[in-house]
Structure 1
Amino acid sequence: MRITRLLTAVVSAAVLLPASATAASAAAIGGYVALGDSYTSGPYIPVQRLDPLGCGRSTANYPSVVAAALHPGRFTDVSCAGANTTNLTRPQNVPAGGTNGPQLDALRFDTDLVTLGMGGNDYGVFGTLTSACPGLRASDPTGNPCEDRFTGSISAAIDNIGPRVEAALAAIHERSPRARVLVIGYPRIVPEQGYCPDVLPFADGDYAWLNSIEEKLNLTLSDAADADGKAEFVDTFGPSRGHDACARGGSAWINGQHENVLEAAAYHPLKAGMAGVAAVVLKALR
Structure 2
Amino acid sequence: MPAFPRPTSPGVAVSGTAGRRLGAAAAASAALLAGSLALAPGAQAAGGGYVALGDSYSSGVGSGSYISSSGSCERSTLAYPYLWSQAHSPSSFSFEACSGATTSDVLSSQLGTLSSSTSEVSITIGGNDAGFASTMETCVLEGTSSCLSAVSSDENFVNTQLAPKLDAVYSAIKSKAPNAHVVVLDYPHLYEVPGSCLFGIGDTSRTAINGAADDLDSVTAKEAAKYGFTFADVRSAFEGHEICSNDSWLHSTTLPIDESYHPTSAGQADGFLPVFSKDA
Per the normalisation by structure 1, the TM-score is: 0.82
What is the rounded CA distance, in whole Å, between the counterparts of 1:271 and 1:30 in structure 2? 27
What is the rounded CA distance, in whole Å, between the counterparts of 1:22 and 1:162 in structure 2? 39
User: Where does residue 114 of structure 2 map in the other structure?
Assistant: 107
Shift of the 151–258 alpha-carbon distance from structure 1 to 2, 3 Å rule, reads closer
What is the rounded CA distance, in whole Å, between the counterparts of 1:16 and 1:161 in structure 2? 39
What is the rounded CA distance, in whole Å, between the counterparts of 1:254 and 1:63 in structure 2? 18
Contact 1:34–1:76, Cα closer than 8 Å, also in 2? yes
Shift of the 127–133 alpha-carbon distance from structure 1 to 2, 3 Å rule, reads same
What is the rounded CA distance, in whole Å, between the counterparts of 1:59 and 1:260 in structure 2? 18
Contact 1:31–1:72, Cα closer than 8 Å, also in 2? yes
> Which 10-residue stretch deviates more, 151-160 or 49-58?
151-160
Q: For residue 89 of structure 1, report the CA deviation from its aligned partner.
A: 2.2
Amino acid across the alignment from 1:75: F
Q: Identify the match of residue 6 of structure 2 among 3, 7, 19.
A: 3
User: Where does residue 170 of structure 2 map in the other structure?
Assistant: 169
CA RMSD of aligned residues (A): 2.7
**Per-residue deviation, residues 59-90 of structure 1 (Å, max 9, x unmatched):** 11010111112111111111100000001222
Shift of the 190–171 alpha-carbon distance from structure 1 to 2, 3 Å rule, reads same
Q: Identify the match of residue 117 of structure 1 among 119, 124, 127.
A: 124
Amino acid across the alignment from 1:172: I
Q: For residue 18 of structure 1, report the CA deviation from its aligned partner.
A: 7.7
Q: For residue 227 of structure 1, report the CA deviation from its aligned partner.
A: 2.2
2:135 is aligned with 1:129: yes
SS of the residue corresponding to residue 140 of structure 2 reads helix
Contact 1:36–1:118, Cα closer than 8 Å, also in 2? yes
Contact 2:58–2:80, Cα closer than 8 Å, also in 1? yes
What is the rounded CA distance, in whole Å, between the counterparts of 2:141 and 2:46 in structure 1? 50
Shift of the 129–204 alpha-carbon distance from structure 1 to 2, 3 Å rule, reads same
User: Where does residue 205 of structure 2 map in the other structure?
Assistant: 206
What is the rounded CA distance, in whole Å, between the counterparts of 2:77 and 2:176 in structure 1? 26
Q: For residue 197 of structure 1, report the CA deviation from its aligned partner.
A: 5.0
2:65 is aligned with 1:61: no
Shift of the 268–17 alpha-carbon distance from structure 1 to 2, 3 Å rule, reads farther
Amino acid across the alignment from 2:139: C
User: Where does residue 93 of structure 1 map in the other structure?
Assistant: none
SS of the residue corresponding to residue 32 of structure 1 reads strand
Contact 2:54–2:97, Cα closer than 8 Å, also in 1? yes
Q: For residue 20 of structure 1, report the CA deviation from its aligned partner.
A: 11
Q: Would you say how many aligned residue pairs link Structure 1 and Structure 2?
A: 258
Q: For residue 156 of structure 1, report the CA deviation from its aligned partner.
A: 1.6
Runs (5+) with no aligned partner, structure 1:
91-101, 138-143
User: Where does residue 267 of structure 1 map in the other structure?
Assistant: 261
**Per-residue deviation, residues 49-68 of structure 1 (Å, max 9, x unmatched):** 12331111101101011111
Shift of the 21–15 alpha-carbon distance from structure 1 to 2, 3 Å rule, reads same
Shift of the 235–216 alpha-carbon distance from structure 1 to 2, 3 Å rule, reads same
Shift of the 53–169 alpha-carbon distance from structure 1 to 2, 3 Å rule, reads same
Contact 2:155–2:212, Cα closer than 8 Å, also in 1? yes
What is the rounded CA distance, in whole Å, between the counterparts of 1:242 and 1:23 in structure 2? 32
User: Where does residue 279 of structure 2 map in the other structure?
Assistant: 284
Contact 1:188–1:243, Cα closer than 8 Å, also in 2? no
Shift of the 113–30 alpha-carbon distance from structure 1 to 2, 3 Å rule, reads same
Amino acid across the alignment from 2:25: V
Per the normalisation by structure 2, the TM-score is: 0.83
Q: Identify the match of residue 35 of structure 1 among 38, 45, 53.
A: 53
Percent identity for Structure 1 against Structure 2: 27
User: Where does residue 189 of structure 1 map in the other structure?
Assistant: 190
SS of the residue corresponding to residue 255 of structure 1 reads coil
Runs (5+) with no aligned partner, structure 2:
8-21
User: Where does residue 17 of structure 2 map in the other structure?
Assistant: none
SS of the residue corresponding to residue 33 of structure 2 reads coil
Tell me which protein shows more helix as a share of its residues. Answer: 2
**Per-residue deviation, residues 182-217 of structure 1 (Å, max 9, x unmatched):** 00111221113235254xx22331111111111111
Contact 1:35–1:116, Cα closer than 8 Å, also in 2? yes
Shift of the 244–20 alpha-carbon distance from structure 1 to 2, 3 Å rule, reads farther
Shift of the 225–244 alpha-carbon distance from structure 1 to 2, 3 Å rule, reads same
Contact 1:42–1:61, Cα closer than 8 Å, also in 2? yes
**Per-residue deviation, residues 120-140 of structure 1 (Å, max 9, x unmatched):** 00042x112221111123xxx
